Amino acid sequence: MRARLALALGLLAWVCWGAPPIAAQQTGTLDVSRGVGGFTGEVRPIQRPVLLRYQSVAQFRFTLRAEGRFEEARGGLRPFSLATEGAGSIRRQGSIVDWSVQVTSMTVEDRVLKASVPLVEFRVRTDPLGDEIDSPDIEAPGLRELAIAADPADISGPVDAWIGYPEAAVKAGDLITPMSIEGLLPLPDGASIHNTVTVVARGLATVDGRELLVGEVVGGVAAAHAGTEFSAQAKGYWLIDLETGLHRGRVRLDVVSSGRSLRQRGIVSADFDYRPI
């Protein structure tokens, strides 16, 4: 299963790509020149290959954020920011892993969405590697309460909680998982996409008392549609908890799109954090 770094917030995408250029805004861009893809903690060699498996977690919290800016040849700057927060649990019984994930808030620019019940609820069964056994069951009680008409399946950010891990133990230089980043990019429907973004194992680290596998995000995306060419280079890091399988990390995308009358450059930074509490 491909890791989907989506943070899509599909029902709110118009805020990003439909807004007019506005004044400049500072963004927390990842400095990928430091450490391993921007991770500056101490990284130790992998002495023995490590297995990546999901285990039971009574409760975890997650935060997904994306922000960036796009400069246009016509002038002006189009900044944006998105965020999703929530909680969940994992219950593993043998070869079956039951996931329950609730989105409790969404923020787009200065607009915050909250309700008296979870905005969106996900339930799914996977195997210990993160491969889905059946399709997620998705409900949106909070969106209904707020009278927001949206397909809950479009809100794909929390699906990133269960990513697919390799069956074999991982050593330095191994591919951990391919990564889909299309949900972070302003790609039109019907675009042809070539994605080479992957996560590669680099070493081990201890953060907040937890043993983590350190992965480096490398590769890029090329796309084309109706005379417009689009490219994005991805760099960043990914930390995987060896006890639970939960993950956290940051990715930076350097983006260029060009067509007959417009050339656009931009930077997108995405943070994702799933950890037990």
Secondary structure (DSSP) of 207-229: ETTEEEEEEEEE-EEEEEETTEE
- Please determine, for residue 60, whether its predicted confidence score (pLDDT) is greater than 60: yes
How do the domains of the chain map onto residue ranges?
Answer: 3-276
What percentage of the chain has pLDDT greater than the value 70? Answer: 81
Confidence of residue 230 (pLDDT cuts 50, 70, 90): confident
What distance in Å separates the CA atoms of residue 87 and residue 158, rounded to the nearest whole number? 10
Quick one: how far is CA 22 from the chain centroid? Answer: 26
For the segment 43-57, the average pLDDT, to the nearest whole number, is: 97
Q: What pLDDT does 236 receive?
A: 96
- Count of CB atoms within 10 A of residue 256's CB? 13
* Closest by CA position to 102, among listed 2, 115, 1, 249: 115
For the segment 152-156, the average pLDDT, to the nearest whole number, is: 58
What distance in Å separates the CA atoms of residue 68 and residue 79, rounded to the nearest whole number? 6
Q: Which helix (H) or strand (E) holds 237?
A: strand 228-241
- Count of CB atoms within 10 A of residue 109's CB? 17
Tokens standing for residue 68:
């960036």
The predicted model scores a pTM of 0.85
Q: Which helix (H) or strand (E) holds 14?
A: helix 13-17
Tokens standing for residue 200:
């590669």
- Count of CB atoms within 10 A of residue 131's CB? 14
Q: What pLDDT does 156 receive?
A: 54
Q: Which helix (H) or strand (E) holds 54?
A: none
Report pLDDT digits (tens) over 206-217: 999 999 999 999
Confirm if 255 and 17 have CB atoms less than 8 A apart.
Answer: no
Q: What pLDDT does 133 receive?
A: 93
- Give φ, ψ of 63 to 5 degrees: -135, 130
- Please determine, for residue 160, whether its predicted confidence score (pLDDT) is greater than 70: no
The C-alpha angle 62, 65, 67, rounded to 5 degrees, equals 175
Euclidean distance between the first and the last CA atom of the chain, given in angstroms as a whole number: 26
Confidence of residue 58 (pLDDT cuts 50, 70, 90): very high
Tokens standing for residue 252:
């930076």
